[in-house]
Structure 1
Amino acid sequence: MIKLFTDIDLDGLGCGIIAKLAFGENADVVYCSYRILNQRVEAFIENPDHDHDEMYITDLAVNESVEKKLDKRFRVGRHVRMLDHHVTALHFNEYNWGMVKTEYDSGKKTCATSLFYDYFIEHQLLERSKGLEEFIDLVRQYDTWEWQANNNVTAKRLNDLFYILSREEI
């Protein structure tokens, strides 16, 4: 089983979509706010039934206590991978299982969805898709506020649609 803990915003939803495209029904996506992330991650890693599951965390950062437990999990050979784009999470780059990147070499800002997609492409877990890449770039533009500078209302509309649907609990 693949377990993904991700944020409850559009960027987190994008990560969930990528996980489902790559792993199908084997992907269990948990959308979390910062308020409940640590509790859910800790419960997952402390359950021996999940020792062989792959674990991803995107667009969120755990607290120091859970960070140490994740590192212990990784050091005993269990899967942990965290991908984020927030400056406040840069210290996770000190771990082999962490990858925090705020911008690409081109200077464009990243988002968790774009980093997750790049990771999956690099590790051959997904094949490139022009349509998916267009969606990912809209998510990235919205999440980084680039849409305002470019006046890209399509990115704003995508987020508005997500917001409406998430409130409907579809």
Structure 2
Amino acid sequence: MKIKLFTHTDLDGVGCSILLKRYYGKENIDCEFCEYDGFEHNINKFIDSGRYASYEYVYICDMSFGEDTAKRIDSLEALKRKLCLIDHHQTAIYLDKYEWATVEEYKKDSSRHCAMSLLYEHIIGTAKDAVQKMKISTPGVKSFIEIVRRYDTWEWYTKYEDEEPKIWDDLLYIYGKFTFMDIVLKRLEVFGQLLITTNEEFLLSIEERKRQEYIERKNSLLKTIKTNGFNVGVVFAERYISELGNELCKLNPDIDFVAMINMDGYVSYRTIRDDINLGEFSKLFGGGGHAKASGNQIKDEVILDLLQRLFQN
């Protein structure tokens, strides 16, 4: 059995890979980690190549694409019957009309989904193999799904004051995706739960100190601009994006949200205000996301214009 997975690079996307490896067996999963920028192009290349024919199932988790690609997929019977798209972003709701897509932002209890929690519900609701279901229904796996959900929805901070989700996101950053997946899968298999080692506690303390220093430095470099009726704090940043955005908003109450630009030309937006929808804001520039967290790629022509201005006499 060969399973193809396209998923995001964050804790939620990595969690989807862990869940599918636990369910199908890690040797059966061909996982491709993707960033939002260029994802639609990559999916169309995958379709063009016809490689989907060699997989029993194709999963797309925590990612989405435009209507043209959706219509193309829906016209390909051989692809759509094996495809399962799972997403929880508000800006992808329009895909839920397709039989092969499940897009839900909220759970039945009104708490917010992450892709991993939605993938779990989908598998439990559709799988017929009771033994395989048991592999992802253990207390340890369910606990990890909730850890990922709380981190991705930021409920660890806004609702529960629970540091454990942030700890596991830090460990993902420290170990990298592939080592992190191996560690989580092994601990779930051997111990039935996720444990933090003494050595990891030491590494986490160092990482926390680095994070605080990084936030302080970026706060000192923050510039404020007015655009589309908003006061926006702008900074160049590569690390700790969610924590950085949240802290910069708290440290600078005069701004509506923060725009963090990385070296790849991607802008991440974060806000702590309830009256702003950043998902809609980023759609103005071809992006998407949630009300309080979204992003988009900067167009090449904008980058070229900026460089020309930068080196003008």
1:123 Cα deviation after fit: 2.0
Is 1:32 equivalent to 2:34 in the alignment? yes
Q: Which amino acid aligns with 1:18?
A: L
How far does the alpha carbon of each residue in 1:35-93 deviate from its partner, in whole angstroms, 9 at most, with x for none? 13122211222223422521111101113332222212247764111111111000011
Match of 1:14 in 2: 15
Match of 2:110 in 1: 107
Decide which of 41, 55, 69 is 2:43's aligned counterpart.
41
- Is the CA contact 1:45–1:51 (under 8 Å) kept in the aligned structure 2? no
Decide which of 153, 169, 184 is 1:159's aligned counterpart.
169
- Is the CA contact 1:52–1:79 (under 8 Å) kept in the aligned structure 2? no
Kindly indicate whether structure 1 or structure 2 has the higher relative contact order, using CA contacts under 8 Å at least 6 residues apart. Answer: 1
How far does the alpha carbon of each residue in 1:12-40 deviate from its partner, in whole angstroms, 9 at most, with x for none? 00000011112221211111001131222
Partners of 1:141 and 1:66 in 2: how far apart?
Answer: 31
Give 1:61-140 correspondences, 5 Å limit: 61-74=64-77, 78-124=81-127, 126-127=133-134, 128-140=137-149
Partners of 1:97 and 1:76 in 2: how far apart?
Answer: 10
Q: 1:145 to 1:22 in 2, by over 3 A?
A: same
Higher helix share: 1
Partners of 1:89 and 1:74 in 2: how far apart?
Answer: 22
Q: 1:77 to 1:32 in 2, by over 3 A?
A: closer
Gaps of 5+ in 2: 180-313
SS at match of 2:176: helix
Gaps of 5+ in 1: none
- Is the CA contact 1:73–1:80 (under 8 Å) kept in the aligned structure 2? no
- Is the CA contact 1:74–1:97 (under 8 Å) kept in the aligned structure 2? no
Q: Which amino acid aligns with 2:140?
A: G
How far does the alpha carbon of each residue in 1:89-130 deviate from its partner, in whole angstroms, 9 at most, with x for none? 000111111111111111111000001111112222532111
Q: Which amino acid aligns with 2:7?
A: T
Partners of 1:38 and 1:86 in 2: how far apart?
Answer: 16
Q: Which amino acid aligns with 2:30?
A: D
Give the superposed CA RMSD.
1.9
Q: How many residues align?
A: 169
Partners of 1:139 and 1:158 in 2: how far apart?
Answer: 8
Q: 1:49 to 1:5 in 2, by over 3 A?
A: closer
SS at match of 1:57: strand
- Is the CA contact 2:9–2:35 (under 8 Å) kept in the aligned structure 1? yes
Match of 1:55 in 2: 58
Stretch deviating more after TM superposition (24-33 or 51-60): 51-60
Q: 1:16 to 1:71 in 2, by over 3 A?
A: same
Partners of 1:29 and 1:76 in 2: how far apart?
Answer: 18
Q: Could you state the TM-score of these two structures normalised by the residue count of structure 2?
A: 0.51
- Is the CA contact 2:88–2:104 (under 8 Å) kept in the aligned structure 1? yes
- Is the CA contact 1:147–1:153 (under 8 Å) kept in the aligned structure 2? yes
Partners of 2:87 and 2:63 in 1: how far apart?
Answer: 7
Partners of 2:77 and 2:105 in 1: how far apart?
Answer: 24
State the structure with more CA Rg: 2
Determine what percentage of the aligned residue pairs are the same residue.
34
